[in-house]
Amino acid sequence: MTDLFSPIRLGNLELSNRMVVAPMTRNRAPQGIPTKLMAEYYRQRATAGLIVTEGAQISEQGIGYPATPGIHADEQIDGWQTVTEAVHDAGGHIFCQLWHCGRISHPDYHGGDKPVAPSAILAAGQAFTYEGLKDFFEPRAFDADEIPGVVEQYRHAAACAMQAGFDGVELHSANGYLLDQFLRDATNRRTDLYGGSIEHRIRLLKEVTEAVVVEIGADKVGVRISPVNAFNDIHDSDPQALFNQVASMLSGLGVAYLHIVEVTMIGEIDTAVNMTEIRGHFNGLYIANGAYDKTRGNAAIVENRADLVAYGVPYLANPDLPERFKQNAVLNEADQATFYGGDGHGYTDYPTLRKR
């Protein structure tokens, strides 16, 4: 029987199981450069079928949080190479998530300049800065002639990821960040070829994906979306139609997988969007994410509702999660106070079954 522990082929990779470490921001990259501590964190989780890293900014323009890593400069490539070598030496596979925060940022990160977005629409809430929480600023809308430069930032970041030794990249088009902002009609009020109809609103994601596919190959590219997640004040008037078309477009480009956050920002199922319908528009592998445990994850695989299942907090606190699931062992409880920032405490010191 095919289940969470069954092998699966992803592009040119043979994954040992169908469990994925979901991308999780941990804010432990001073000056945006990955560290040896980060390498140890990811190495510990190498028994997953696939690791997707925390979001890595594709440029200085993409920064929106303190102490998050980038993937566009030489020193960042060197830092990530330490991570990928550690994971590969432990027998794992790892993709780099490419991230641009768009309007979910603050002038503090941009020399006083406004963050950029599809349209000049202020997000509700506050930005995390090195000086604490500060109100979001109304962003500056991209000029049309700037958009090819954004596409180039993604292409360059993908090339950097390959240079750093990653097995592939995931385009972060979820959770209210830049690519998601272009997709949604609540944040995209443009009247040019990048706004208005669904076909126009998905254009940036299509151009970015095309550029990355040309650079590194479709079998090394995945995309993450979040149709029902309102995080970062993101909404759309018809998410079913939007994400059906997104899935069809990505399928046509032949990307390796579609990674869907299936739940709301508080972890609930929203039946207003049918994830099975979205999946029906995509021919590649489907990674499901959203409050899964072993039982629900196995059921999703057995019933062919997903090809792989991504776990967030369970992997944060249990680096040996596949072994714990196999043994039906008790899981470590996650310490929320250490989720963001700090040192190895609550990061690399969660015990494995062999170290208890």
Structure tokens at 6: 């069954």
Burial class (CB in 10 A: 0-12, 13-18, 19+), 340: middle
CA dist 227 and 244 (Å) reads 10
Q: In which element (H, E) is residue 243 found?
A: helix 239-253
Determine the length of the chain. 356
How far from 147 is each of 111, 112, 170, 177, 208, CA to CA, in Å? 21, 21, 20, 16, 10
CA dist 321 and 17 (Å) reads 12
Exactly one of 65, 177, 257, 292 is catalytic; which is it?
177
Structure tokens at 304: 């062919």
Residue 261, number of CB atoms within 10 A of its CB: 23
In this structure, are residues 228 and 270 in contact, taking their beta carbons and an 8 Å threshold? yes
Active site residue 154: no
CA dist 31 and 28 (Å) reads 10
Structure tokens at 293: 């445990």
In this structure, are residues 66 and 128 in contact, taking their beta carbons and an 8 Å threshold? yes
DSSP string, 101-132: -TTSS-GGGTTTPPPEESS--PPSSEEEETTE
CA dist 158 and 214 (Å) reads 10
Closest to 154 (Cα-Cα) out of 250, 221, 66: 221
Residue with tokens 């099975």: 276
In this structure, are residues 302 and 274 in contact, taking their beta carbons and an 8 Å threshold? no
Which of the residues are catalytic? 177
